Structure 1
């Protein structure tokens, strides 16, 4: 490797894994408000929830692989529902962890993103998110799901490559706020559906059948993870 290539590689390494300056507090607050604007209104949420579904199903898929299961495929639907199919033992810790990973994935990803932003790794967060989306794309098994992941990953790629530090910072903070705040709403939606006798095959109900623990306790876990992630991650984001 000649000196020019080595210098370029070192420069790329520093750009991706080095730290970037924190944005102004007003930017952090503005991105929080922007995230709330696409989460709270029901009509907008019907569209933006697709991004939470990507994280939800990606959580199922990632934990399935980490626990030794074989991932058959992931499907994302236009009604913001999704399905992740894995093969392996139908009971036991691997299946339990896989089932529990869906509702907990978006807030935990937000918490991890907040931890990276707290130490200034803005570019690293954007590149990591892009890599995860590319890996997920390989396992998508329907056209709508592929289109959704491609558009999302393409947005991250464009911001990572073609925008300046200030735009990257604002985008990264908006994404993390969205995961933290948007990760709270699905558990409440599930609770509302279960109170009306629907969603009988939800993740909480599947976990209940797997563990003989009441579905309500699993729902409480989903609430606890999302709310604690929001409190912890929000504190990190606001300490600029």
Structure 2
């Protein structure tokens, strides 16, 4: 689909999306715009956590970054690999969870990006399979976001950059606070208000009953969080 000239967010290219894999949406383009805004490209090693279709990883590769894309879902890994082949972009795709306790990757990265599952759900724990695994993130929507906040310092190089997108419904201030406690300096880098999608639309009464959404709210706010190591000397 063509993006209007007045749209500040870039298209992320056509990608194959297998059933059960998260398709590129508003949050994908917000994250891609953040990569471009912060000059990610040649000379940067980048890690994409929860790559899904690989759309953001492929966009980073198109900018010139050396990209490793990871996901815990086999179908997502297959999709990202297929899209790398179809686009001819150099992409390393692995099935792993670098946020798991004790997880170790062979290197640290200049940039870590993530569009993790972040939708609050009635179930206390995220699903272990199925399409909802790509968006449902427990009672407060933070099952994966919190792990990324904790893992970011050991995944990044001393002057590295974390860019993560999620819904304000799961707590923007909570993310900033956790990153600070992890030894990072963090701020909101971008915001966008979007119409409710099918998942949130089906949960409006539950979200309002929990106080996560006001009665008159008609849109969801997405935020891009930017963070750097506390001792990096970089500003946020």
Higher relative contact order (CA closer than 8 Å, sequence separation 6+)? 1
Q: TM-score, normalised by structure 2?
A: 0.25
Greater strand content: 2
Give the structure with higher Rg (CA).
1
When normalised by structure 1's length, the TM-score is 0.25
Q: Which has the higher helix share?
A: 1
